[in-house]
Amino acid sequence: MMNFHVLTLFPEMIEDALRTSITGRAMTKGLLSLHTVNIRDYSVTGNGRIDDYPYGGGAGMVMQAEPVMRAYEALQETMEKKPRVIYLTPQGQVFHQKMAEELALEENLVFLCGHYEGVDERVLEEIVTDQVSIGDYVLTGGELPALVMMDAISRMVPGVLSNQESGETESFQNGLLEYPQYSRPEEWRGKKVPPVLLSGHHGNVDRWRRNQSILRTLRVRPELLESVEFDKKDRKYLQSLIRQETENRITEEEINFLSKLLANKTKS
């Protein structure tokens, strides 16, 4: 059971999105819970205002420390031990699949969503345990990043995905991007499904998929290959790519990358 708590200025944004589709079904089943806290309810001026001008000048407004602290304290009172508190910020560590897997082991997770120019640093120092970014770009608020994280974490909570939706073969699960997927019909607008997928030969299908995963990763995210363990059959496929023996022509640059990769892997 995973309990998500979100400190936000826009609870409806979080509620609407997370109560939809697979995460919504998981809440109905009691595998996930969602508790949103509106930081505005903890305004110290009593009129719902929670932001003020930045000391030192500059554009925009800053979310004040006290309303955030009070909202957090009200939440923490309901918990037995201090939870992990994640502040969504473009200045944080970039979110990835392994982080989702690790966070899914927690019982409670608190997300703090910033807005405007961000949150007064002093309250971040007091309550935040992890600062996380969802990528190198700037959004208007932390709600979408919190939703991205909660969605990815939810998929790692046992029971949330049905067997059919199982995440085991998904991109990043084995360090590679996933192979291409096809469904009916066998021929669509003159394009045929790769014949091996219709062969019923599981061994060949698995090999084809693994090769496609390696090829895709090489083309789009070659750096990921550096942390992948290759077995004998993988190496054979990589060699065949270098020698241009497959129908998937690869570029000079990709050949050089693969040659170096294989040489390094043999050394280590």
Q: Which residues bind ligand SAM (CB under 6 A)?
A: 88-91, 113-115, 117-118, 133-135, 137-142, 145
Nearer to ligand SAM among residue 13 and residue 238 (C-beta): 13
The nearest distance, CB 143 to ligand SAM, in angstroms, is 8
Joined together, the tokens standing for residue 40 give 């505005």
Contact (CB, 8 A) for 111 and 150: yes
113's enclosing H/E stretch is none
Contact 125, 68 (CB under 8 A): no
* Residue number closest to ligand SAM, CB atom: 114
List the one residue out of 225, 218, 221 whose CA is nearest residue 241. 218
Nearer residue to ligand SAM within complex by CB, 31 or 144? 144
What's the closest the beta carbon of residue 61 comes to ligand SAM, in angstroms?
11
In the complex, minimum distance from the CB of residue 185 to ligand SAM, in angstroms, rounded to a whole number: 40
Q: Closest approach of Cβ 104 to ligand SAM, in Å?
A: 19
DSSP 8-state assignment for residue 136: S
Q: State the Cα–Cα distance between residues 217 and 179, nearest whole angstrom.
A: 9
Least distance in angstroms from the C-beta of 101 to ligand SAM? 19
What is the torsion angle, in degrees rounded to the nearest 10, for the CA atoms of residue 224, residue 229, residue 233 and residue 238?
Answer: 30
In the complex, minimum distance from the CB of residue 66 to ligand SAM, in angstroms, rounded to a whole number: 17
Residue 135 or 159 having the CB closest to ligand SAM: 135
Q: Which helix (H) or strand (E) holds 215?
A: helix 202-220
CB nearer to ligand SAM: pick between 83 and 90: 90
**Which residue, 142 or 179, has its beta carbon nearer to ligand SAM?**
142
Scored b (16 or more CB within 10 A) or e, 175-189 reads bbbbbeeeeeeeeee
185 prior amide bond cis, ω within 30: yes
Residue closer to ligand SAM (CB basis): 83 or 114: 114
Nearer to ligand SAM, 128 or 218 (CB): 128
Smallest distance, ligand SAM to C-beta of residue 115, A: 5
The residue type found at 154 is: S
Closer to ligand SAM at the Cβ: 92 or 222?
92
Secondary structure element (H or E) that encloses residue 87, with its range: strand 84-94
CB of 120 to ligand SAM, least distance (A): 11
DSSP state of 61: -
If we measure between CA atoms, which residue out of 226, 227, 218 comes closest to residue 249?
Answer: 218
